[in-house]
Amino acid sequence: DAMVIQNPRYQVTQFGKPVTLSCSQTLNHNVMYWYQQKSSQAPKLLFHYYDKDFNNEADTPDNFQSRRPNTSFCFLDIRSPGLGDAAMYLCATSRLVGASGAYEQYFGPGTRLTVT
């Protein structure tokens, strides 16, 4: 089935040790998003790609970087994870739906990051 896949599902890293989270999609969608969701909070958009065009949210810390080498893959790099970066990281993709220009977003299962 076409889907959004995130690896790994669970990641443990040490304080300050760089970590990379992976997202892949078989939907051939132009847009890919990375969200951070902390416990009992709503997801927070970190950045998105439209094709190779990178769009950073104004309040996303510099510690968070992203790469999209091709349509199918997108990576989230956390350069120096702090304890406050422990969260669920969600990848989503979207395509154009309907004349209104509304985009339906398809979410991956998420990667739960623990920082020790």
Partner 1 sequence: KNEVEQSPQNLTAQEGEFITINCSYSVGISALHWLQQHPGGGIVSLFMLSSGKKKHGRLIATINIQEKHSSLHITASHPRDSAVYICAVSILTGTASKLTFGTGTRLQVTL
Q: Which two tokens stand for residue 38?
A: 């902390």
Q: Rule CB under 8 A: is residue 28 a binding residue for partner 1? A: no
Residue of 15, 28, 50, 79 that binds partner 1 (CB under 8 A)? 50
Minimal distance, residue 81 CB to partner 1, in Å: 20
Whether residue 72 contacts residue 30, with contact meaning beta carbons closer than 8 Å, is answered with no
Element counts in the chain: helices (H) and strands (E):
0, 11
Nearer to partner 1, 65 or 93 (CB): 93
- CA angle, 58 as apex, 56 and 61 as ends, to 5°? 80
Q: Which two tokens stand for residue 39?
A: 């416990």
Nearer to partner 1, 49 or 115 (CB): 49
Q: Rule CB under 8 A: is residue 34 a binding residue for partner 1? A: no
Residue of 13, 22, 71, 112 that binds partner 1 (CB under 8 A)? 112
Mark residues 57-86: x for contact with partner 1 by CB under 8 A, - for none: ------------------------------
3-state class (DSSP) for residue 104: strand
Coarse DSSP helix, strand, coil percentages of the chain, rounded to the nearest 5 percent: 5, 55, 40
Nearer to partner 1, 80 or 115 (CB): 115
